[in-house]
Amino acid sequence: MKKVIVVGNGMVGYKFCEKLAAHPQRDQFEITVFGEEPRPAYDRVHLSEYFSLKSSDPLLLAPRAWYEENRIELRTSELVSEIDTSIKRIVTHKNNSFQYDYLILATGSSPFVPPLEGVSKTGVFIYRTIEDLEAIEEYAKKLQSQGKYKAAILGGGLLGLEAANATKELGMETSVIEFAPRLMPRQLDQQASDLLIKKIESLGIHVYLGKNSKEIIGSPEITGIDFHDGSSLDVDMLVISAGIRPRDELAIKAGLLTGTRGGIEVNRKMETSDPSIFAIGEVALYNNGIYGLVAPGYEMAGVAVDQITGGEKLMSPTIDMSTKLKLVGTEVASFGDPFLENENAIAIRYENKQKGIYKRINISPDGSKLLGGILVGDASDYNNLFQLYINEIKLPEDAEDLILGARGGDGKSSFGSALDLPDSAQICSCESVSKGDICGSLTSGTCSSLKDVIGLTKASSCCGGCKPMVTELVNETLKSMGQEVKETICEHFEYSRQELYDLVKIHRIPTYNDALDQLGKGHGCEICKPVMASIFASIFMETANRQVGIQDSNDRFLANIQRNGTYSVVPRVPGGEITPEKLVVLGQVAKKYDLYTKITGGQRIDLFGAQLHELPLIWKELIEAGFESGHAYGKSLRTVKSCVGSTWCRYGMHDSVSFAIQIEERYKGLRSPHKLKGGVSGCIRECAEARGKDFGIIAVEGGWNLYVCGNGGANPKHAVLLASQLDDETCIKYLDRFLMFYIRTAAPLMRTAPWLDKLDGGLDYLKKVVVEDSLGIAEELENEMEELVNKFTCEWKEAIESPEMMKRFKHFINTDDSNEELVFVPMREQKMPKPW
């Protein structure tokens, strides 16, 4: 039996063990794996989730029992200190020695610590292991007990931004310091970096670019950092995440060939200069490069397993560094060559600063091939774009449709669905899983669900970026086999939103924690928490104040956060009608708090630039003047726009203003899967643009025509006629039914237009349910809506009357001070945030 020793029990070392344990020739090998950390291998990709999990167990890739079951000797807390290649033996720091036939070096990398003076001071940390995170958390608590809250991250790459989010979640005032002129310089261009900075700074994290650190000051604890440009930054804690260095010290000591800048040289077999020793992961120098992503490390592990079992598999000639992540709450992705722009490539860019979205694709000069790209703020197109790139699929005639959406063309990609991809298409880069692997596991009968497929192939089990496409492939394959497909909202709840809605209602489940206990598992996530918040609100008319911890950030503070960290104030102005007295109050408040003032597209007034601690003060004055929360921050009814109607207009057929006010007052505060907008026009000239709304009402001879499921935005769609010539009462009755049916059955974050597109039977079915009552639930839907209408409470009035609720409206935990770092510049007699 051949002896295999694996040095390093990180993600790549574990993957080697997993692949060898599952190999048909497994019984020919005796496997021993060494890890210097005290616990088995864990998921470093999701390391920052440790703080929310409050335990390392969910991050484990496999428990100790797995190693025992697979006859793998796991030796943790034991460091390999020496390799004797002449007799094939390793020695550990405990002076234990072991013989090997094959040695796998998966020692990974260590954080690069710049040679700064003062780097050993108390309060300076690195960000690499769970032990590092535990130390950071403990020190943050100590600082906060002393009234100190300032943390800085040295490094603006992937890990640096993860670290920044971690310290922010610990309650620290966080800054990111980056030597380069942009964030994530290996993945993002300048425009993408600028947009990401806006997103990050809107969350209260400061970013300093082009900063060359000179010295860490303080004694014995850190108190600040001096820079070479003469500036300095006061900090109480510093986390260093400035890059990695391959841990090749063992190889150097053993005489293996290494690169001039580090890393163990390997060939396509992953062999080192000694053919019985392999190097995989971040320690391996392949094609003169070190690769810090999981996917190439896993591929290396697979090649090494194949080689020692007599196979001929070789490493890919080029390494794909495509990645999709969620950093500081923002989706970021890049694929192929993100920066390519010369005579061999054309770059197409789309930027929406208002929504915080940037998309770039690089295509060949003839427009036939996708060569790379960048996505920030919205990475929903990543999987399609990656497949077009990696499989060299011919692009549509209008390549810009790939990031802008179809404008009369055939849509987002050159293939109708994931099933149209070739079987050889690589779906999961991390685990090297093809479309054929996924679909074949279902058609062969080996698997019968998404869970089965993930368990067998490991697809989407690592970074999770491919999960939407894996899910689509599984669902479409099962449908093609005539099976029913069940869609769940996330791994913590094995139910769809519709099922959760019904279960919460039937069992009268009062809180998110109760829902997790009775219906779910684990600790929850940023996907299911807002979904459940929406469900509680839609069933019980619960305000966002009751379960603050599960709300999106805007709902948490009852205001939209803007790009400089300030907030907007939008009181409700039903139907756009407002008295001069109330206009005066808005003007007085805007002047008193120096707020930028703008009329919105929904016929109300938006006041920008309020600091967090000012929000309750502003709303107290507005509520005393008779205003209510406009819910501009919520997934709820926003506005019901109106034209002036028959009261003033010579063309008006009905009183559109009065009807718009009646409808907005009825549905105000109504929470739903996505935001809702309405409009009422007094005649077919349609001045309220009612057919661009989720519901639109247009006056005609004999009453009102009711249109539903339209929207503006990036993919505008006209609303369609649901019923015609309705009186006021019938129109509202149909609206009650329609809105409640949508709230009950739509998926999370699905607006009414795509909901109708996915509804079996489409508009005809919707008419049967809402107008003809084919399901016999019309009265139930009407009663549910009436209950919600009668329970309305103004969230801001509720908040300012509760001292406990008011505690969250503070910039800093230990003081009521305002944020003095905000900078505004003049703009047309008002002000705006200073440009980036």
**Binding site as annotated, residues:** 643, 649, 683, 687
CA angle 106, 111, 113 (to 5 degrees): 145
* Contact indicator for 639, 763 with CB cutoff of 8 Å: no
Beta strands in 77-127 (DSSP E): 80-84, 89-92, 97-99, 102-105, 109-111, 124-126
Give the phi and the psi of residue 736 in degrees, each rounded to 5: -55, -50
Binding site for siroheme: what residues are annotated?
A: 687
Q: Which residue has 């070190």 as its token pair?
A: 290
CA atoms of 191 and 833, how far apart (whole Å): 18
Count Cβ atoms below 10 Å from residue 536 Cβ, excluding itself: 24
CA 99 to each of CA 76, 171, 585, 718: distance values in angstroms, whole numbers, following the listed order: 18, 49, 83, 72
Nearest to 104 by CA among 128, 88, 124: 88
CA atoms of 151 and 704, how far apart (whole Å): 59
Element holding 663 (H helix, E strand):
helix 656-667
Enter the DSSP assignment of 271. B
Enter the DSSP assignment of 762. H
Binding site for [4Fe-4S] cluster: what residues are annotated?
A: 643, 649, 683, 687
DSSP-assigned beta bridge partners for residue 261: none
38 upstream amide cis, omega within 30 of 0:
no
624: Cβ contacts below 8 Å, ≥ 6 apart: none
CA atoms of 396 and 415, how far apart (whole Å): 9
Amino acid making up residue 793: T
* Contact indicator for 116, 16 with CB cutoff of 8 Å: no
Percent helix, percent strand, percent coil in the chain, to nearest 5:
35, 25, 45
CA atoms of 185 and 615, how far apart (whole Å): 37
Beta strands in 552-702 (DSSP E): 560-561, 567-569, 596-599, 605-610, 637-642, 676-681, 695-700
Burial of 92 per CB tally in 10 Å (0-12, 13-18, 19+) = middle
CA atoms of 150 and 10, how far apart (whole Å): 32
* Contact indicator for 34, 82 with CB cutoff of 8 Å: no
* Contact indicator for 427, 398 with CB cutoff of 8 Å: no
Number of alpha carbons in the 13 Å side-chain half-sphere of residue 558: 28
Enter the DSSP assignment of 246. E
Beta strands in 106-209 (DSSP E): 109-111, 124-126, 150-154, 173-178, 206-209
Structure tokens at 632: 């501009």
CA atoms of 779 and 785, how far apart (whole Å): 10
405: Cβ contacts below 8 Å, ≥ 6 apart: 412, 714, 715
* Contact indicator for 399, 349 with CB cutoff of 8 Å: no
